[in-house]
Amino acid sequence: MRLDRFLAHAGKGTRSSVKGDIRKGIVTVNGAVVKKPEFQVDEEADEIRFGDTKIQYRKFVYYMLNKPAGFVSAVKDSHDRTVMELLDNVLTDGLFPVGRLDKDTEGLLLITNDGALAHELLSPAKHVPKTYYAELDGALTEDDVNRFLEGLDIGEKRITKPARLEILTPKTKAYVTVSEGKFHQIKRMFHVLGYKVLYLKRISMGTLALDFSLRTGEFRALTETEIEQLRSMKENASDYHYGK
Ligand code: URA
């Protein structure tokens, strides 16, 4: 691949900023300074240094975004702004959001180019738990907790899988954990019980928790530990179950 693309993919800057860096002579390939951004490198075999730093090639990249309301979870959209537009200075070719949050939902969204991991995380058979913080237009009751656990008829072929509802103070606020991802699932579940969701934010997906130091609209690369935990969850995810 081209040297400028390699460096942008490795998070060293935008395609145009890394071109400038290459022309300044701070990039070496196998010990020799290369000043041409279009220079072809073998990303797996060549030793590429940016200043003093050796750049490790990574086929897959993973970002956590704290999604703001007003953006759609898609790579492209003809009407709305997409979450991809929030990834400033990231080479977004080949990246996509893992699953969808509604346009008005905030919170944790994983963005990657790792299709196999995404597939596993979204597979209904894997029961990967997703936890949301919700604010409702009425006070929740213990009966609602039981109804979430028993499963609700939201108009799908089957009732919803057991879900955990943890009522907070005040009782118009709650954490909800579901292990499936039907369209508008949380809003539809509350709707069946007579509530309207006024605010919804995803705070975790399997082992991955939203980093609360990220303000809405901000993102960061996942740490090695977070990536490892997601990968091991991929193998063990079907162990996650709630209730019965
Ligand atoms: N459930 C919803 O209703 N909306 C979301 O964005 C995610 C889950």
Instruction: List pLDDT tens digits, range 160-203.
Output: 999 999 999 999 999 999 999 999 999 999 999 999 999 999 99
Q: CA separation (Å) from 189 to 51, 134, 230?
A: 54, 12, 27
Q: What is the model's pLDDT at position 206?
A: 95
User: Could you give the residue ranges of the DSSP H alpha helices within 77-122?
Assistant: 115-122
Q: What is the model's pLDDT at position 125?
A: 87
Q: Is the pLDDT of residue 50 over 90?
A: yes
In degrees, rounded to 5, the angle at the alpha carbon of residue 99 between the alpha carbons of residues 94 and 102 is 120
Q: Which of 48-57, 72-81, 94-103, 171-180 comes out lowest in average pLDDT?
A: 48-57
Q: What is the model's pLDDT at position 236?
A: 58
Q: Is the pLDDT of residue 46 over 70?
A: yes
Distance (angstroms) between ligand 1 centre and the Cα of 228 equals: 26
Q: What is the model's pLDDT at position 88?
A: 85
Distance (angstroms) between ligand 1 centre and the Cα of 108 equals: 12
Q: Is the pLDDT of residue 239 over 50?
A: no
Report which ligand 1 atom has the smallest distance to the Cα of 188: 3
Question: What is the maximum span of the chain, computed from C-alpha positions, in angstroms?
Answer: 70
Q: Residue 120 is which amino acid?
A: E
Report which ligand 1 atom has the smallest distance to the Cα of 102: 6
